[in-house]
Structure formats: C-alpha cells, structure tokens
Amino acid sequence: MDKDRKKWMAFCSANRVYLIFAAVFVLMSLFAPRFFNTYNIGTLLGTAMLNGIVVIGFTIVLICGHLDLSTVAIINVAGNLAIYMVQKTGSFGAGILAAVVAGIVIGIVNGLLVTRAKINSFIATLGMSTLLQGLVSYSNNAATRSITDFTMTDFLDKKLIPIVPNRALIAIIIVLLVHFFMSRTTMGKNFYLVGGNVESAWYAGIRPEHYLIGAFSLNGAFAALGGALYACYLASAMADIGAMGVSPLNMLIAASVLGGASLAGGRGSILHSFFGVLTLTALYNGLTCFKLGYEMQIFVNGIVLMIVVLMEAVSLYRKNKLAGSKSDLFKQAQN
Amino acid sequence: MKKANILEFVSRFGTYMIVIILVGLGCVISDKFLSTTNLINILDAVSYLGILASGMALVTYCGQSVDLSTPSTIAVASFVSILTLRFGMIPMILCTLLSGALIGLFNGLIVGKFRINTVVWTLAVSFVFAGLIRVIFGSANIYVTTGNTRAFEQISRYRISGRIPLGVVVMVALMIGLHIFVSRSRIGRQLKLVGCSELVARYSGINVLRIITLSFVGSGMAAAITGLFIASLSKSACYNYGTGYEFRAITAVVLSGMVLDGGRGSIAGVLGGVLAIGLLNNIMTLLGLNSFLQDVVTGIVFIVIVWFTNYTKTKLEALNG
C-alpha cells in the first residue's frame, strides 16, 4: 500500500506539468465560455508560438545553472532587425537569418562575459539587456517598425494539419527536435552535467566553458528566431515587447519553473517547459474568455508561480529535516 | 606585496575612484558642472534610488542575492499612503512603512524558512501584489483628494533652508544610519556572517531565520519610503510607479562592490554606487546625449566596471594564495 502510494507520488511529481496542464485545460473547457472550440484552441496554440520557441533556449541556460535576463532584449533586437531587413531586401528569409545570426553573436558575448570575465550571469545579462534595449530604442526612437507585406502572416496562419496553425506547428517541431537532442544525445546530456556539478563535469573530460557559451548562444538563437518569426507574423516590431501586458521574461521564468527547471541548475526539460508555456497560455486564454483583463493574468501568474515554488521548497524542507533521523534511516533500511 | 596593496586599495575604494574620475570628467566637460545647483540636482535625481538601494543592499549583504519584489512594494506603498492620508500625516507614514515591512516580513519568513531561490520567490511576490493592485483598482491611477493634501505634496517638494531637498536628507541619513548599524552593531556583524557562510552562522548559534527576515524587512521598508516619495511627487498612486527601479537599484548595489553571494562591501559603498549612476547620467545629459544612448553607455560602463572589480578580486585572491 505504502509502495503504491510512493509510486503514485513519484509519477505525479515527474509528470507534474502535464497534470497541471490537463487540470487547467479541463477546468477551462468546463467553465470558461467559448473556450473549448477548434477556433479558440487554434488561437491558443498560435499564441504560444513566441514563448514556446524562446523558452527552449531559456531552459537550456537554466539547465546550465544560469539565468539570461537579456532574453527579452534579444527578442526585441531580432524583431526589429528582421523587419528592417525585410524593408531593405524584401525577403523574409534574409530578415530571419540576420536576426538569428545577431542572436547567436549576442549569446556568444554573454557566454564570454560569464565564462572568461567570470561575471555572475545575472549581472552580465542585466547589463547586456540595458545596452541592447537602449540600442533598439535608439535605432528607431522607440517607435514601432512595420511592413505592408503580409505573405508571412498568411503562411503562419494557414493550417497544414487541422486545428494547429503553421506557427504552432513550427514551434512544436523545433521543441521536439531540441528535446530529442537534449535528452537522447551525449552532447545534450552534457549540458545537464555542467549544470549539476561543474567540477565533476570537468573531471569527466567536458569543457564546461564551451557548453556554457553554447547554452548562451543557443538561447540567443532561439530568442532571436522566436522574436523574428513573431515580428514577421505581426508584420511589425515594437521597440519593447516587455512593456505590454505580461512581459515574456515573467512568462518564461514561470513556465520553466512550472516545468521543473531550477535556478540551481542541472534540472529541467525542454518539453516540460513548453508545456509550462502552454499551461500559462491556456490559463490566460481562459481568463480572457471570462472577460478578465491582463490585470488578472499577472495576478494568477504570480499565484501559480508562488504555489509551485512553495510546494517544491516545502517538500525539500521536510526531506532535509527528516534526513538522518531515526524514522528516515528506518525507511531507508526497509527499502 | 606592493601590488597586493594596490589591488586591496582598488577593491576597497574602487567605487569612490569611479566617482572621482566622473567628477573630474564633469569638470572638463562643462563649467556648470561644479555649480551648487547642479550638484544638488545630481543628488536629488538619485535620492529615491539611493533610499531603495540602501535597503536592497541589506538583502544582498545577507547573501540572499536580490529582492525583486521592490517594484510592487513601491506601488503598494504609494496606494497605502494615499488611502490612509485622511487619518493624518503621522498615521499615514506609519501605515506606509508598515505595508513595506509586512511584505518584507512575508518574503523573509518564506525565503529564510524554506530556502527558496530568492529571485524566483520575490518575482512571484512581485506579480501577486502588482496583479492584486491592478485587479482592485483596475489599472487606474488614484489621486490625492482627502486629508492634508498640501503637507503630502510637500514631502517631495520641501527643501531644507530652501536648497536641499528632503529626499536627499533622508537618503544620506538612512545611509549613514545603516552604515553604522551594519558595521558596528552586533546584528550587523551577524548579517555579514550569514552573508559569508550560512552554515557557519547557524553553527555559531545565530538565528539565521531572524537575520534573513530582518534584511528583507529593511528592504521592504526602504521600498515603502521610496513609494511614499514617488506618490508625493506625482500626487497619485499607480501600479507601475516602481517599474525599472529594481534593476537600477541592483546596478547601484553591484557598482558598490557588493557581490551577489553576500558578505562583502558596505553601505557607504552603495552611496558611491548611487553617486556614480547619478554623475554618469548628469554628464551624459550635459553632453546632450539621447536618453536611449544613455542606456547603451550605462550598460557598457556597468559591464566594464563589474569586469574590472572581478578582475582585481581574482588577482587579489591569487596573490593571497
């Protein structure tokens, strides 16, 4: 009986994000008006595109035990650069390519600041964020750039398979590919090793600094890809996407923590983080169905994050408190 | 040995060297720079930031990285101050301070007890309170209508002997008080020990939970004072009055030579960090730089200074073995 319960608990904690997602989805379908229909679910999946792609890189950096505060600034740089390139060359491919290259370069600089200059990632990326945001705002005097070419919008809105719009399909394919890379290949697993214990990673013959630079540049690449695709979809790019409603940074942190990533590093999964994004998007979408504005979204975002973090911390606290006590040793002996 | 002395000097007084360099630069750039009006303006521009940063420095000093709940605390305090103004000035100030202290207490107890990552927890608290205010007041501003409106406005506008703004006096007094408290008192030394090594602190019989809670209460109250000043300046309260202040305060704290791991630096250094930000902004404005370009320069200077501080620290550690 006790063993069954333990198994059940382990299952629950391993698949926490799926259970929360299912709960949110079912509750919203039951109670929120006009939530459960193909049109709204398509919209929901489409809305998750930007954060769904960006969260990939964000989670990889978290797995390495670092935090990248410049992610939102990279999204803005990428969006503006992509729209600018489309204005100049008329080709969406050139715009997205330029944005991704810029993202990778920014990521490498971040990585070098953290590994070579040995600056705390929180501080280095904070400075980087101020710098980049200033550049973006300066380049167009904080105005929104826009184009009148809507071919990309039409393409991303089309549905190659029913219900799922193309932009969601792209996000899902990228998430699955990177998830496979991170969980099945040696190189992907090394990221976890670097985040879990740098020293033992070094002893295992891994160069931690290479992986850190890799993680930051992957974050730059995915943030830029997400930002560029989103800007091309809207056919416009704001100077600061974070100034409107729920900032992507808040969403990213909440989603990845919901998906089991920790700021201490070594934990997290791309697929879980993606489901974290889906859960929060479904929650926001449902709240909008109730005609509640983003005031409520910010509040609920906070409550969800608070509960998840608190639950995790309390269980760890209990475990630590019992560790080494008579009842704990007894339990260990029994297993 | 000589090299070690120089490095030691740099790592200890680095912030003030930046301040001196910036003052020198300012004198070269404009003859108006050294006028009393300009100097007071520099102080006035950073006084709210200084008040906030001195509180947040306690949290950093105590080894709890950063308190990101300050923007919401500022917003909550601004609402509390305007809503309680009808009961008179003294009760209003007490209630405002209490609101900040309560948020700090909540943060401190949870973080101290369950050892949650401070960044994530304070961010969550920030969403909750910002969301709560926005839900209750519908994202709208509220304005001063009842109570002693004139006195409330004067909080941010009163100048002692017609020159020095009250905010500057509060900032300097708070910094001096906190500096003496942190460097001379028993609790101050306990703060440093908890910041250096929590385990050692715990084994030497220090009530770690109490010390951590105290640092967060300090940070919350400092944010509440900032909120009160901002509310008085704009004669209104709004959910976004604290936005951006947290990162500027972190910049000031980091420039002061405090490291996010805690236990290093001093509150006097924070004054240096705040002054450096003020001087940099002032010089760039005197040069007529676009405000977005000012952000770019601030970002670069920030990274370079942190890099340099880190460099001297690692060299120093290498020399000391």
B321 pLDDT band (50/70/90 cuts)?
low
Nearest to B127 by CA among A293, A295, A230: A295
Which token pair is B308?
Answer: 């340099």
CB A238 within 8 A of CB A144: yes
pLDDT score, position B315: 82
Would you call A317 and B123 a contact, using CB atoms and an 8 Å cutoff?
A: no
Nearest to A296 among B110, B126, B135 (CB): B135
> β-pairing, B159-160 with B164-165?
antiparallel
- Those of residues 200-219 in A touching chain B at CB distance below 8 A are none
The region of weakest confidence among B211-215, B273-277, B309-313 is B309-313
Mean pLDDT of the region B266-284: 91
Interface size A-B, in CB pairs within 8 Å, comes to: 140
Task: Give yes or no for residue A3 having a pLDDT over 80.
Answer: no
pLDDT score, position A51: 92
pLDDT score, position B107: 95
The region of weakest confidence among A268-277, B219-228, B229-238, B240-249 is B240-249
Give the orientation angle of helix A248-258 with respect to helix A38-63, to 10 degrees. Answer: 80
Whether chain B has a CB inside 8 Å of the CB on A244: the answer is: no
pLDDT score, position A246: 66
- pLDDT one-digit tens code per residue, A233-252: 999 998 888 776 667 888 89
Instruction: Please state, in angstroms and rounded to a whole number, the distance separating the CA atoms of residues B281 and A134.
Output: 14
Nearest to B306 among A119, A133, A135 (CB): A119
A108 pLDDT band (50/70/90 cuts)?
very high
- pLDDT one-digit tens code per residue, A271-293: 999 999 999 999 888 888 887 87
The region of weakest confidence among A159-163, B20-24, B41-45, B226-230 is A159-163
Query: How much of chain A, in percent, has pLDDT values that exceed 70?
Result: 98
CATH code, B83: 1.10.3470
Task: Give yes or no for residue B10 having a pLDDT over 80.
Answer: no
Measured between beta carbons, the chain A residues lying within 8 angstroms of B113 are: 317
- pLDDT one-digit tens code per residue, B36-48: 889 999 999 999 9
Q: How far is A330 from chain B (nearest CA, A)?
A: 25
Would you call B127 and A138 a contact, using CB atoms and an 8 Å cutoff?
A: no
Q: What is Dmax (Cα atoms) for chain B?
A: 66
The region of weakest confidence among A71-75, A137-141, B194-198, B238-242 is B238-242
Which token pair is A37?
Answer: 């229909």
A1 pLDDT band (50/70/90 cuts)?
low
Instruction: Please state, in angstroms and rounded to a whole number, the distance separating the CA atoms of residues A46 and A155.
Output: 13
Instruction: Please state, in angstroms and rounded to a whole number, the distance separating the CA atoms of residues A129 and B150.
Output: 40
Among chain B residues, the shortest Cα distance to A132 is held by B296
Mutate to test the interface with B, among A74, A126, A287 (most CBs of B within 10 A): A126
Among chain B residues, the shortest Cα distance to A124 is held by B303
Q: Which helix (H) or strand (E) holds B142?
A: strand B142-143
Instruction: Please state, in angstroms and rounded to a whole number, the distance separating the CA atoms of residues A75 and A108.
Output: 16
CB A255 within 8 A of CB A301: no
Q: How far is A299 from chain B (nearest CA, A)?
A: 4
Measured between beta carbons, the chain A residues lying within 8 angstroms of B109 are: none
Measured between beta carbons, the chain A residues lying within 8 angstroms of B247 are: 126, 130
Mean pLDDT of the region A304-325: 82
pLDDT score, position B280: 92
How many CB atoms are located within 10 Å of the residue A146 CB? 13
Which token pair is A316?
Answer: 């760890």
Nearest to A146 by CA among A226, A225, A232: A232
Residues in CB range of A262: below 8 A, 6 or more apart: A62, A268, B117
- pLDDT one-digit tens code per residue, A194-216: 998 889 999 999 999 999 999 99
Among chain B residues, the shortest Cα distance to A262 is held by B117
The highest-confidence range among A261-265, B14-18, B58-62, by mean pLDDT, is B58-62
The mean pLDDT value of chain B amounts to 89
Measured between beta carbons, the chain B residues lying within 8 angstroms of A301 are: 127, 131
Nearest to B302 among A130, A264, A317 (CB): A130
Would you call B119 and A299 a contact, using CB atoms and an 8 Å cutoff?
A: no
- pLDDT one-digit tens code per residue, A298-312: 888 888 888 888 888
Among chain B residues, the shortest Cα distance to A306 is held by B124
Instruction: Please state, in angstroms and rounded to a whole number, the distance separating the CA atoms of residues A258 and A219.
Output: 19
Would you call B120 and A263 a contact, using CB atoms and an 8 Å cutoff?
A: yes
Q: In whole angstroms, how large is the CA radius of gyration of chain A?
A: 21
Q: How far is A315 from chain B (nearest CA, A)?
A: 9
Nearest to B299 among A118, A134, A264 (CB): A134
Q: Which CATH number fits domain A2-334: 1.10.3470, 3.20.20, 1.20.120, 3.40.1360?
A: 1.10.3470
The mean pLDDT value of chain A amounts to 89
Whether chain B has a CB inside 8 Å of the CB on A306: the answer is: yes
pLDDT score, position B1: 55
Would you call B115 and A310 a contact, using CB atoms and an 8 Å cutoff?
A: no
- Alpha helices for A141-184 (secondary structure H): 151-157, 166-184
Instruction: Please state, in angstroms and rounded to a whole number, the distance separating the CA atoms of residues A142 and A265.
Output: 36
Measured between beta carbons, the chain B residues lying within 8 angstroms of A313 are: 114-116
Mutate to test the interface with B, among A62, A68, A138, A320 (most CBs of B within 10 A): A138
pLDDT score, position A316: 81
Among chain A residues, the shortest Cα distance to B125 is held by A302
Mean pLDDT of the region B281-296: 90
CB A112 within 8 A of CB A57: no
Instruction: Please state, in angstroms and rounded to a whole number, the distance separating the CA atoms of residues B214 and B232.
Output: 27
Mean pLDDT of the region B164-190: 93
The region of weakest confidence among A161-175, A178-192, A285-299, B76-90 is A285-299
Mean pLDDT of the region B173-178: 95
Nearest to B303 among A127, A263, A317 (CB): A127
Mutate to test the interface with B, among A309, A318, A319 (most CBs of B within 10 A): A309
Whether chain B has a CB inside 8 Å of the CB on A323: the answer is: no
Nearest to B116 among A124, A254, A313 (CB): A313
Would you call B131 and A297 a contact, using CB atoms and an 8 Å cutoff?
A: yes
Number of structural domains chain B divides into: 1
Q: In terms of residue numbers, what domain contains B165?
A: 2-319
Would you call B303 and A253 a contact, using CB atoms and an 8 Å cutoff?
A: no
Nearest to B314 among A118, A123, A305 (CB): A118
